Amino acid sequence: MDLCAAYRIPHSQLMGAAGGRWTALDREKALAFAAYRRDVCEGCGTRPQEWDPDQGGDRHAYVSQTHRCPGCELIDMENEQVPQGAEGRGVKIGLLARPR
């Protein structure tokens, strides 16, 4: 469904159906997927139900894992060079591939 959302196509077309028209089932799937995604935490990607034993979840459903991204580290280091008080004033730092 993520691909369907990205390409704005019905699920049936992704699965090979011709025509590209939205069927009732495509609409139901899209609405269910939207409801599912509304419930996902933007920070960690989990849903409250996954943690709640009363809803079939488990308080210990996940364990944390540390991951270091060199790109994010570089962005963080560059952010430290932004003058004090300039944060939030349109300053955005991204990565550009170095020419080879």
The per-residue pLDDT for range 35-75, each reduced to its tens digit, is 999 999 999 999 999 999 999 999 999 999 999 999 999 99
The model's confidence at residue 86, banded by pLDDT at 50, 70 and 90, is low
Query: Per-residue pLDDT tens for 7-29?
Result: 889 999 999 998 888 999 999 99
pLDDT of residue 89 exceeding 80, the answer is no
Helix ranges restricted to H, the chain:
2-7, 11-14, 24-38, 48-51, 70-79
Quote the Cα angle for 85-69-80, to 5°. 20
For residues 58 and 51, is the Cβ–Cβ distance under 8 A?
yes
pLDDT at 87: 58
Residue 77 lies in a domain: no
Residue 7 lies in a domain: yes
Structural tokens at position 35: 């409801």
| 2: Cα separation from own chain's centroid | 9
Q: Range of 44's domain?
A: 2-55
Q: How far, in Å, CA of 72 to CA of 95, rounded?
A: 9
Residue 21 lies in a domain: yes
